[in-house]
Structure 1
Amino acid sequence: MQKPLSCRRQGGIPLARAFAVFLAAFLLLFWGCAPEPKGPALTLAPLPYAMDALAPVMSAQTLELHYGKHHAGYVTKANALIEKSRFKQKSVEEILVATRGKKKHEALFNNTAQAWNHAFFWGCLTPRGDARPTGLLAGAINKEFGGWKGFRAAFIDAATTQFGSGWVWLVSEDTKLRIITSANADTPIAQGLTPLFTIDLWEHAYYLDFHNKRKAYVEGLFDGLANWKAVEERYQHH
Structure 2
Amino acid sequence: MFAIARNSVRPAAARYSALAAAARFKHTLPELPYAYDALEPHISKEIMTLHHQKHHQTYVNGLNAAEESYASSKSTKEQIALQSALKFNGGGHINHSLFWKNLAPANGDGGKLGDGPLKKAIERDFGSVDAFKKKFNATTAAIQGSGWGWLGFNPTTEKLEVVTTANQDPLISHVPIIGVDIWEHAFYLQYKNVKPDYLNAIWNVINFKEAEARLVEASK
- Taking structure 2 as the reference length, the TM-score comes to 0.79
Aligned: 1:64 with 2:42? no
> Are 2:102 and 2:207, in contact at CA under 8 Å, matched by a contact in 1?
yes
> Are 1:134 and 1:232, in contact at CA under 8 Å, matched by a contact in 2?
no
Q: Percent identity?
A: 35
Aligned: 1:38 with 2:21? no
Provide the rounded CA distance (Å) in 2 between the counterparts of 1:48 and 1:105: 31
Cα pair distance change 1:133/1:169, threshold 3 Å: farther
Note the C-alpha offset of 1:74: 0.5
Secondary structure of the structure 1 residue equivalent to 2:153: strand
Pair member with larger Rg: 1
Secondary structure of the structure 2 residue equivalent to 1:106: helix
Deviations 1:190-227 (A, max 9, x none): x24210101100001101001011111111111x1000
State which of 87, 101, 120 in structure 1 corresponds to 2:98: 120
Which residue does the alignment assign to 2:213? Answer: 233
Which residue does the alignment assign to 1:184? Answer: 167
Which residue does the alignment assign to 1:207? Answer: 188
Cα pair distance change 1:133/1:85, threshold 3 Å: farther
Cα pair distance change 1:86/1:193, threshold 3 Å: farther
Which residue does the alignment assign to 2:125? Answer: 144
Provide the rounded CA distance (Å) in 2 between the counterparts of 1:119 and 1:228: 16
Which residue does the alignment assign to 2:76? Answer: none
AA in 2 matched with 1:62:
I
Which residue does the alignment assign to 1:32? Answer: none
- Taking structure 1 as the reference length, the TM-score comes to 0.74
> Are 1:159 and 1:215, in contact at CA under 8 Å, matched by a contact in 2?
no
Secondary structure of the structure 2 residue equivalent to 1:171: strand
Deviations 1:52-75 (A, max 9, x none): 111122111111111000000110
AA in 2 matched with 1:137:
L
Note the C-alpha offset of 1:130: 3.2
Large movers: runs of 4+ above 3 Å: none
Note the C-alpha offset of 1:38: 2.8
Deviations 1:166-206 (A, max 9, x none): 00000001121110011111111xx2421010110000110
Note the C-alpha offset of 1:143: 1.1
Provide the rounded CA distance (Å) in 2 between the counterparts of 1:233 and 1:142: 17
Aligned: 1:109 with 2:101? no
Which residue does the alignment assign to 1:161? Answer: 142
Note the C-alpha offset of 1:103: 6.4
